[in-house]
Structure 1
Amino acid sequence: MAKGAGKQVGNVLVWLVLIALVVGLGGYGVTNFGGSTSSVATVGDRDISAQDYARNLRQSVQAQGQQLTLAEASQRGIPAQVQGRLIANAALDNEADRIGLSVGDERVADQIAQIESFQGLDGDFSSDAYTFALQQTGFTTSEFEADIRDETARSILQASVAGGVDAPARLIDVLMQFYGERRSFEFARYTAESLIEPLPEPSDEELQAYYDENSDDFTIPAAKLVSYAWLTPDMLAPQIEVDEDALRQIYDERSDEFTQAERRLVERLIFDNEDQASEARAAIENGDLSFEDVVEGRGLGMDDVDLGDVAESDLGAAGAEVFALEEPGLVGPLPSQFGPALYRMNGILAATTVTFEEARDDLARDLRLERARRQIEALAIDAEDALAGGATVEDLAAETPLEAGRGEIREGSEDPLASYTEVREAARSLTAEDYASIDVLEDGGIYAMRLDEELPPRVPPLADVKPQVIAGWERAATRDLLREEAERAVAQLDVGGQFGDDGSETGSADLVTRDTFIADTPEAMIEAAFEMEEGDTRIVEGETDVFLLRVTAIAPPAEDDERMTNFRNALTAQTAQSLAADVYQLYGRALTDSAGISYNDAAINAVNSQLFR
């Protein structure tokens, strides 16, 4: 009986696998579109069956992750893409037939045996699973194997056409010259602190001119003016009473958060065996090597060995000896889950305890917020019913704990409701015809809003944004003065002066590449350096500062730079792949043009009408 039960369980598992296979094949050829002889197009002597078109079209639509109408699918170009892909394959199949390229039964059998869906529970090919799957999908064995044969032949044809394409050495040299070229330059930085005279107060006329010229900077974007009622846990929590017993119970339940055992700052360096670890420790203790030297010698960085702050239990069998250290030091070899290791302890973090009295206020706030969320959840149902019965947002504010509000919903609005991303997104599609309904906020609050007015983009009066206008004018005026200082420095350089003679902050960069980052300088400075010739000077403006730049040397890519070598290898491979893909695509187009295409519009429409009902 037990044996029979085991066999039953095994059969159930097999059938589950087979059912999953059918589903995984996505209805592979299930639908009947007039029989296997019906074709949607012909390329040369090769037909594209309605079954193939239907299956590929269905899979492409399913990949969109949503239901589509025929119009929507056509707008996205899905039917045309599927047809183009099938026509390209048919053209290659036709060419393979013409030149006599095919693969034998043994190769086809090997390909099928590698398909995981046709393997049994033991991982080997299962003829029962294979036969069952094909029967369920409406495919005959000969049809499926013919598809595998064609696909394999196409792969061989593709490899023969595109496999020998190499990246042109001249092209790679030009690209490497661009990316790997190096520049040395020096620069002077001019800041507001370097101005000799303080910035004058702007006149009303200057502010007005700046405001008029830069009105886009002060334009308020389009917004929705809405009336709303809302309630959040933070708004409701102060009204909720909590008792001491409940707080003490929560404190006890969350005791792990408030009591932390002693911890240590630890680094762990793992070795292949104990002899290696012992030799490394001896070299460190003798002063021949530092711990950092040993880490680097194993091809690692300090981040790779840093465990951070750990408890004794985190270190397993090594924990007791590491925690026996009363001051920073080295122990080991000791076991780890990855092998023998040296442990360096760098600091002791004493055990800490947060008392109930210290945690009480935070616990009370958390409890109030939790209870407020539950009350709001219950209140949301009644509020939704009231709105459905004709209540307005003002009625909700008058008759429930929800509070009324009115304001602009847009990015940057000062209205508190507009600070929620989900509210701003909902407001974008809100119309005057929409009825107010209850929606949930990310913090557990609820709101309902009604559109009162659509506000177009507008420029506020100067008086309303005067502080921002003054700040903008000051930045622009400061840059103008700093540029004048830089221009005076250029004149001095032309007559033999040096960077920094005027007291400016100076700096330099030695043989850097285009992707170099220099702290506290604008990206435009690196870009400018690679646009200039040796000896050229240029003024580059940053957000607040101005830089004077001079290129002092130009050098080709470094031949011994491993980073550039790796980049060249990657660039060569990527370029070769791209060119091979282009060659193969052009080859496919040429085959299609020479073979000729004829379409069966009636069959195409029949497939489309059945898939997009």
Structure 2
Amino acid sequence: MLDSLRNASKGWLGAILILVLVGSFGFLFGIQDWMDFTPTPQIAAVGDEKISPETFQQEFSRYLRKMARDTKVELSTAEAKAKDLDRIALDEMVTRFATVEKAKALGLVATNSQIADMLKTNLPDGSGGVNRGAFQQLLQENQVSEPEFYELVRADMLRSQLYRTIAGGTTLPPGLEAALQKFRLQRLVAEYVLIDPARAGEIKDPDDAALKAYYDTHADKQYSTAEYRALTLVTVRIEDVASRVTVTEGEIKQAYDRAKNYFETPEKRRIDQIRFKTEAAARAAKAKIDAGLSFDDAAKAEGYKPEDIRLGEVSKNDTTIPAVAFELPVNKVSDPLKGAFGWVILRVLSITPGTVKTLDEARAAIRDQFVKERSKDLLVQLTIDFEDALGGGATIEEAARKLSLPLKKVPVIDARGNDTAGAPVEGLPGGEFLAQVFAAETGSDSEIGEASDGVRYVYRVDKVTPAARKPLAQVREEVLTNWRNEELAKRLGAIADDLVKKGSGGQTMASIASSLGVAPLRTDPMARYGKQGVFGEDTLSAAGDAKIGQFFTGSVADGKSRVVAKLVEVTYQDETPSDPQRMMYGANLRQVFTEDLIEQFGQAVRADVGVSIDETQFAKFHTGE
């Protein structure tokens, strides 16, 4: 957990830690024009700070872009709101802001000099300072001022300090892990009989009127063709224009010299830490270690487990780790140190020396970054040129030909991006593109759009084929099959429910099986999750909820039969303490517990700082009013 809190994504020439911070955390409380005395609506308040709908709109847009990068799934704003992602984004936003306020109230600080040191490391000018040109480019790309940028980074540092404190030394309550491990190892044994389709008896086909009524009830969702559209499409991607970019060897060499620090991998160390409530306790423990007590035993004496004292691998440029940690030899224990949250002693477990990439090793990465940055500029220019061509009277086809841009004719596409066979149409923009296409008029050129992945596009809808019900005669066999399946499920369900009622009334499983002309079957010991033998997941869930001797029913893995079962035994699988699966499950439990603790801490901080959400303003945002 500490490692994941400490690590951050990095890139070069602007695509560094700061971009992640700006892209992920949004504007700190939405800096507004202090000269504007006109009352503005607020969607939320954190303490005395107000969050306007405009500020939240910026945050929500960044939230969706980040989600698209993380999940590889692009959603339009409307789709995201339909899934209530705007509520989740607002909740996360106010929790972050409240955490920053709490960190400040506790006296935590992130100084300008610390931020400047980070900039010197990531945007070096070759003489120990900050490359102002690269820094200004970074500010422009993210549309923030220098003071706003400093506040963004400062907020992230404060949150990191606070979360590290909460996560450090976290342990599960006594007995909880043992109870959860026991629950995982629980195995269920049941007696059962199968109610197969043959027991439903003859299912006569419905008459024409009944079949027509069933068809009418389900036609719009099951027996209709989609609306289809044909369109002309031009898309321009970064990779489409990259081949037009040139980079000289001199530019590569100059960039390497300016950003040489970036190609240095700092020394890393694996460090253990014991935290103490008082200086006296820390010095007493250090004296015992000097007298021969092991570091691990000293930690144990303070109530820590081995995993509680692990800081993991940390870098030499990590300002949250005392500098003395990078002066200690391996297995050497530090003297007591006063940190922001108490007294600690440290031990170094291993050292990984730092490295520096040569120009030859870095050349490809530098060139790729130049191409990437210049392709963005070229993409913007091509967009402007394309707009100018359309404004001058050119058709989409003519403008694409003039600028050597790829043009695509899409003969048929539905609202999900599929053709008539249900196969995805390749090469389409993401985001709101499909929603825009299916809201557009026929024959008109669209405005130039931009998807969340940076793709620019323009299109024209050439033809619309409306959605229509398939004639009953065309889909009669499909409708009849669906009707039969539903009728079969109803009959088998009724039989199973009646047998469960008899079992619950005192009839034995043997008696129930005998009434069916079969012998009762018995399962092997089953885990409480997944699919086990013939039992479907819903049946296994019912078994887990049942008491010994209780009857239950559910689906069977074949998807057609039903099962009537009785829980007869609960056993536990044997497992050694060193079993890899047990250890992995325990580690997952501790991580989840830590995450839950941090989430609860966030809720407590919100209550302490004071968070309010204007539901009326949020409803307007949600509906787009």
Query: Shorter-chain TM-score category?
Result: 0.3 to 0.5
Q: TM-score, normalised by structure 2?
A: 0.42
Q: TM-score, normalised by structure 1?
A: 0.42
Is the radius of gyration larger for structure 1 or structure 2? Answer: 1
